[in-house]
């Protein structure tokens, strides 16, 4: 028994380590890539399109990788391939000319693999946790810590160094992530190889599932200006790269705290009310970003809402997906969840970038505040009775991993 517990602790440590370095790569990319492009002479519209390229592939890649993973049953093989391809892409960034013509294919290559990795690794994590899947937040928070470490560390780094060193930093972080991926074996509980995985359509027709995914889309559509332009928005109001990095870190620190408490909230409150809270507070967050761009304390407060905007909603999503889909559907279900992220953020980035100079950043965030509330129209399809059920509707508890 003691030996088994040691194995579980060791495995959780490896899972946590992968999350740490995977999200450290994202923490280096997300806040600073747009600043890197601006430093290389790209305008807001061009940055918007390049930002969209990095998420457009998220519409395509996860479904392709989800099919491959569910058919082969070898999810970590695809994770290792994806993270290795990320490394190759950042090496290429050092050598290709920095023009739209060259950056678009390289960024698409990077994002095609990067966007597919997380969906499959989430499935790996849930399989490994098994009956302990309520501890997902504790394992996943290490990804948030990796994001914070990268954002805060690079905020200091770019205070003394040029933003043009970003690709070198990305290469180093991606290299560590590749090494870490080979420390994790295929989960033994995962569904074995199959040529005919269960179809998704019957599950997607369930009101609780399509309504939740619709809410997810509008939530992410509202996040697009934040993910693509928040750093540029702050820079235009005189914030330093260090201040920008700290604000991003505040949001992810709030995310970490929520991941440690999400299981308690899910046990105490029904998911329907928690989803409503996520949408309403996210709307409030974008309004604060729009109304008080010069007030540091208000921006800190807005970033704290990331605990609900992302972390709590993510915890609800993982619980719902694991409950509503078969084991041999987990890869494709996670892929669909990831695909909607790409669709929402890509569309929002293109729209925001095309009108940013005409409307200004403040009005863009006001619109985002209204967009997220559209998700409330679908909340009535999510009945409390369905969400409060702790058993899978198709699989008996004894068949759950």
Residue 1, domain member (yes or no): no
Residue 26, domain member (yes or no): yes
**Per-residue pLDDT tens over the stretch 152-198:** 888 888 888 888 899 999 999 999 999 999 988 887 655 555 556 67
**Cα–Cα dist 210/56, whole Å:** 21
**Per-residue pLDDT tens over the stretch 242-252:** 888 889 889 88
pLDDT value for 5? 53
Residue 215, domain member (yes or no): yes
Residue 191, domain member (yes or no): no
CB-CB neighbours of 236 under 10 Å: 13
CATH number of the domain bearing residue 148: 1.20.1250.20
0.75 exceeded by pTM: no
* Locus of tokens 């409030």: 284
For the cut 70, the answer to whether the pLDDT of residue 384 exceeds it is no
Give Cα 19 to chain centroid, integer Å.
11
Residue 177, domain member (yes or no): yes
**Per-residue pLDDT tens over the stretch 45-101:** 888 788 778 767 767 776 676 666 666 667 788 889 889 999 999 999 989 988 888
Domain count along the chain: 1
Q: Which domain, by its residues, includes 222?
A: 9-186+196-399
Q: Is 360 helix (H, G, I), strand (E, B) or coil?
A: coil
**Per-residue pLDDT tens over the stretch 2-55:** 344 544 667 788 899 999 999 999 889 988 888 899 888 888 788 878 877 876
**Cα–Cα dist 29/166, whole Å:** 8
**Cα–Cα dist 52/356, whole Å:** 15
**Cα–Cα dist 6/12, whole Å:** 10
Residue 2, domain member (yes or no): no
State the average pLDDT for the chain: 83
Contact 259, 311 (CB under 8 A): yes
Residue 138, domain member (yes or no): yes
**Cα–Cα dist 110/92, whole Å:** 10
Residue 64, domain member (yes or no): yes
**Per-residue pLDDT tens over the stretch 108-130:** 899 888 877 877 788 788 888 87
């Amino acid at each position: 028994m003691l030996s088994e517990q040691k194995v579980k602790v060791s495995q959780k440590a490896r899972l946590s380590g992968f999350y740490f370095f995977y999200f450290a790569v994202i923490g280096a990319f997300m806040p600073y890539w747009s600043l890197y492009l601006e430093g290389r002479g790209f305008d807001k519209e061009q940055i918007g399109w390049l930002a969209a390229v990095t998420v457009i592939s998220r519409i395509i890649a996860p479904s392709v990788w989800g099919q491959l993973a569910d058919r082969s049953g070898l999810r970590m093989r695809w994770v290792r391939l994806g993270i290795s391809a990320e490394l190759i892409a950042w090496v290429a960034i050092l050598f290709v000319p920095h023009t739209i013509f060259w950056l678009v294919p390289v960024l698409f290559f990077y994002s095609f693999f990067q966007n597919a990795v997380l969906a499959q690794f989430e499935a790996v994590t849930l399989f490994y946790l098994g009956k302990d899947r309520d501890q997902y937040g504790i394992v996943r928070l290490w990804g948030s810590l990796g994001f914070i470490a990268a954002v805060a560390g690079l905020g200091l780094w770019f205070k003394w160094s040029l933003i043009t060193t970003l690709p070198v930093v990305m290469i180093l972080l991606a290299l560590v992530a590749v090494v870490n991926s080979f420390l994790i074996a295929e989960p033994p509980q995962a569904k074995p190889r199959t040529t005919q995985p269960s179809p998704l359509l019957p599950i997607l027709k369930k009101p609780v599932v399509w309504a939740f995914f619709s809410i997810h889309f509008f939530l992410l559509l509202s996040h697009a200006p934040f993910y693509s332009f928040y750093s540029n928005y702050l820079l235009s109001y005189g914030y330093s790269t260090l201040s920008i990095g700290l604000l991003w870190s505040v949001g992810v620190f709030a995310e970490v705290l929520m991941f440690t408490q999400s299981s308690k909230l899910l046990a105490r409150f029904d998911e329907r009310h928690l989803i409503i809270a996520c949408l309403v507070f996210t709307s409030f967050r974008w309004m604060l970003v729009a109304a008080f761009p010069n007030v540091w304390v208000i921006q800190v407060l807005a970033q704290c809402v990331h605990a609900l905007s992302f972390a709590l909603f993510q915890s609800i999503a993982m619980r719902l997906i694991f409950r509503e889909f078969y084991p041999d559907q987990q890869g494709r279900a996670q892929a669909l969840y990831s695909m909607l992220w790409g669709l929402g953020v890509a569309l929002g980035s293109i729209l925001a970038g095309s009108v940013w100079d005409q409307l200004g950043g403040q009005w863009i965030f006001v619109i985002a505040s209204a967009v997220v509330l559209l998700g409330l129209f679908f909340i009535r399809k999510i009945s409390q009775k369905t969400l409060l059920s702790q058993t899978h509707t198709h699989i008996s508890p004894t068949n759950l991993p």
